[in-house]
Amino acid sequence: MAVLDIVRLGHPALRTPAREVPSEEIGSPALERLIDDLVETMRAAGCGGLSAPQVGAGSQVFVYEVPPSEAPPATPPQSSAPPAEAVPLTIVVNPVLHGKPGQMVHDWEGCSSVPDLLGLVPRHPEVRLRGLDREGQPVDRVVSGLESRIVQHEHDHLNGIVFLDRMRDLKSLTYSSEWSSFVDRGERGERTAVV
């Protein structure tokens, strides 16, 4: 396993749709190495998810995980937002998402490929995630909350989309240091997802 460089906004890999992984490549040494490197890189960067395009690879693969020690609590304590739960390591190849109809939820997001910036991004509160795991076994489940946000963020990367493209109003765009100083004062119930 290796910690790879995470490409930043401006690199063409972030704006190029990723190719579907052919069934004969699943389980191949090259794909296994990519998945292991994605996991290692995600953990080294301290982010909740990472897609292949973020390391310059053009395959429809992403990984995500929120260890128990890193699951952010709902803020402020009286917030109606449920606390975030730990999410086990998940690998998804050739993912397909189906958003549940209904009102979108705005929440704070950041991205390892757009370092130091955060913004309010509307996402479906719940999505159906379908695809394959690293062994080629089907993944088919409904995810919600922070996991849903991470999945949608990573899926966007596979389509050449970054979180800035999803923001409806750039007035919320802020540097993470300024967010900590001026925005995160308990007036809002949002949690930050940096993926």
Q: Residue 161 in contact with residue 62, Cβ under 8 Å? A: no
pTM recorded for the entire structure = 0.87
Q: 3-state class of 79 per DSSP?
A: coil
Domain limits for position 107: 12-194
Q: What pLDDT is attached to residue 63?
A: 98
Q: What pLDDT is attached to residue 16?
A: 98
Q: What is the mean pLDDT of each run of 10 residues along the chain (195 residues)?
A: 96 98 96 98 96 98 88 43 76 95 92 96 97 97 96 98 96 89 58 57
4 part of a folded domain: no
188 part of a folded domain: yes
Distance CA 62, CA 94 (A): 9
Q: What pLDDT is attached to residue 88?
A: 95
Residue of 154, 178, 187, 190 marked active site: 154
CA-based nearest residue to 63, from 96, 87, 92: 92
Tell me whether residue 154 is one of the annotated catalytic residues: yes
The Cα-based distances of 138 to 21, 24, 32, 62 in angstroms read 14, 15, 17, 15
Q: Which residue has the tokens 């910036």?
A: 117
Q: What pLDDT is attached to residue 13?
A: 98
- First CA to last CA distance, the chain: 20
111 part of a folded domain: yes
What type of residue is 61? V
Q: What pLDDT is attached to residue 4?
A: 97
**Element at 62 (helix H, strand E):** strand 61-66
Q: What's the number of domains the chain is made of?
A: 1
Q: What pLDDT is attached to residue 193?
A: 59
Query: 10 Å Cβ neighbour count for 159?
Result: 14
Backbone angles phi, psi at 146, to 5 degrees: -60, -40
Q: What pLDDT is attached to residue 179?
A: 85
Q: Is the peptide bond before 76 cis (omega within 30 degrees of 0)?
A: yes
What are the structure tokens assigned to 87, written together?
A: 């999410």
Q: What pLDDT is attached to residue 156?
A: 98
Q: What pLDDT is attached to residue 75?
A: 39
Q: What pLDDT is attached to residue 194?
A: 61
Residue 25 has, within 13 A of its CA and on its CB side, a CA count of 14
Q: Domain of 165: which CATH number?
A: 3.90.45.10
Distance CA 122, CA 103 (A): 9
